[in-house]
Amino acid sequence: MQRLVLTLLVAYCTLTGSVRAQDPLPSWNDGKSKQSIVAFVAKVTKAGSPDFVPPAERIATFDNDGTLWAEQPIYTQFAFAFDRVKALAPKHPEWKDQEPFAALLKGDMKGALAGGEKALFEVLIATHAGTTTEEFAGIVKDWLATARHPVTKRPYTEMVYQPMLELLAYLRANGFKTFIVSGGGIEFMRPWAETVYGIPPEQVIGSSIKTKFELRDGRPVLVRLPELNFLDDKAGKPVGIQQHIGRRPIAAFGNSDGDLEMLQWTAAGAGPRFCLFVHHTDEAREWAYDRTSHIGKLDKGLDEAAAKGWTVVDMKQEWKGIYPPAK
């Protein structure tokens, strides 16, 4: 009997040891970025060390487009909006003669985008407002269930970066609370962020339009209005972080100049801080773009990262894989 107990004890300890020794970031090559991540996490979680950070303050914020999932050849939310224009066209006969809708309906993307930001904003408002919040969540879910990425033909929710999924899980396993802080629409991300990233709706921060509380036949609804509420990009990101979290992150992850202010805000806090840019360098497995790209431009950010010693991930060199295996 004593021998059995001993054997079980040894077996248990061996098992525990092997679980502990497992690599929490298997899709990351053992390069500079992985080492800097692991060193930071070890530092802030070591009880009694001067760099120890209590779990409640272990806030990590992640950009979404280009940081957690692909953003090429166009932002996924734009693909959604363009598909919605087609779906809504029967209810809007006037769109046939009205730009940018007319061009979009003819499949003329270049013509549609000729109107610049103003035209794009019109499309976003026309396709994102007018429903209740619950209806909109349903529309997003339905679209994601059938829409496919134009290049890979995979569902958009599989165009996420496997190394970043591992990073999210690794941080949470070490007591971090992970947040999305994206220029994308807050209600466009919430319906799927929990399933795909393990991030609950209350930890998703993004751009928004105004909503209005109404009683419809005695039943309360929130109606989405055709008016911008908040733009969660560039200098808006620290504002969104303060508004939603009320506490400065100790780690921030982005991929473009739109994330620079979030990283500056994070870096400027007292105590240990971690800032990271994902650098899109992989023209074969993903896309290669930075200083001159229209989408996900990373220019000032690269310079500031170099000057301040922030971590810059070379996707081509440092990631063993890009996307998770197909489901």
Site stretch for its own copies (CB under 8 A), options 152-160, 164-172, 237-245, 283-291: 237-245
Site stretch for its own copies (CB under 8 A), options 39-47, 85-93, 164-172, 202-210: 202-210
Q: Does 219 bind its own copies (CB under 8 A)?
A: yes
Q: Which residues contact 191 (CB under 8 A, 6 or more apart)?
A: 137, 140, 141, 144
Cβ-based nearer residue to its own copies, 20 or 213: 213
Q: Which residues contact 254 (CB under 8 A, 6 or more apart)?
A: 62, 63, 67, 260, 262, 263, 276, 277, 278, 301
Q: Does 226 bind its own copies (CB under 8 A)?
A: no
Distance of alpha carbon 19 from alpha carbon 294, whole angstroms? 44
**Cα maximum dimension of the chain:** 86
Least Cβ distance, residue 148 to its own copies (angstroms): 26
Q: Hey, is 179 helix, strand or coil? A: strand
Residues 171-200 that bind its own copies (CB under 8 A): 177, 186-187, 190, 194, 200
**DSSP string for 277-317:** EEE-B-TTTS-B--TT-SSS--SHHHHHHHHHT-EEEEHHH
Cβ-based nearer residue to its own copies, 48 or 246: 246
Residue from 19, 215, 284, 307 binding its own copies (CB under 8 A) = 215
Distance of alpha carbon 96 from alpha carbon 219, whole angstroms? 36
Q: Does 243 bind its own copies (CB under 8 A)?
A: yes
Q: Does 169 bind its own copies (CB under 8 A)?
A: no
Residue from 67, 72, 77, 208 binding its own copies (CB under 8 A) = 208
Determine contact, residues 62/168, Cβ cutoff 8 Å: yes
Binding-site ranges for its own copies (CB under 8 A) = 56, 59, 133, 177, 186-187, 190, 194, 200-204, 208, 211-213, 215, 219-220, 222, 229, 235-236, 238-239, 242-247, 261, 264-265, 268
